[in-house]
Chains A and B, each alone.
Chain A
Amino acid sequence: DGGITQSPKYLFRKEGQNVTLSCEQNLNHDAMYWYRQDPGQGLRLIYYSQIVNDFQKGDIAEGYSVSREKKESFPLTVTSAQKNPTAFYLCASSISTTTANTGELFFGEGSRLTVL
């Protein structure tokens, strides 16, 4: 089945550690995104990528890093510089590559990160 796979589903981290969240899609979509979701708030964009080997910062990129070496993969690293990393992280993709329209967005099942 086509879709977006995120792993791990749950992750615990000690303060000062970097962690990497995986996102893989087999939808042949060009654009991929990382969002953060906190209780009572809308989703906030961390990073997005329109094409392989290119990515842009979203609204809350500080303390995060990404790479886009393959079309189907867009891993997110939560670094120790992120002051409040405990959250639900969602990866998404879309087929549109036009700069004016995101097209329909498809999401993975999410990864819940807890800092101990």
Chain B
Amino acid sequence: KQEVTQIPAALSVPEGENLVLNCSFTDSAIYNLQWFRQDPGKGLTSLLLIQSSQREQTSGRLNASLDKSSGRSTLYIAASQPGDSATYLCAFGSNDYKLSFGAGTTVTVRA
């Protein structure tokens, strides 16, 4: 069973600083990974989807990388803003319909 770990559980940074969020997994036989954002009491919003054949994906200030050999994915958020405050979750798709989720990293960007 895929184990997914996100460290740290919480992070607080001043506005303008770049954010680096880490996600590690135990099974290298992944098919894709997704990064999601979740605001308090809300559902998940998909940010980026990386297929196993890709190394990274970019959308605006967001960049996600995938390194299957080391079992890691990293989400970079450039020039953070208070509106980036949320919980960020990663999830890995394996050879079935199930996604394995991490517990998330809660980010606070201080104005």
Contact = CB atoms under 8 A, between A and B. Distances in A.
B64 interface: no
B98 A58 contact: yes
Contacts of B103: 40-42
Interface string A38-58: 001111110010100000101
Contact of B49 (A44, A104, A112): A104
Given A90-B44, A107-B45, A110-B41, A101 B102 contact: no
What's the interface size class on B, roughly? Answer: 20 to 34
19 contacts: A6-B43, A31-B97, A42-B89, A43-B91, A90-B44, A92-B44, A99-B95, A99-B96, A100-B31, A100-B95, A100-B96, A102-B31, A102-B32, A102-B97, A104-B49, A106-B46, A107-B36, A107-B43, A110-B43
Contacts of B91: 43, 105
Interface of A: 4, 6, 31, 33, 35, 40-45, 48, 50, 56, 58-59, 90, 92, 99-110, 112
A101 B93 contact: yes
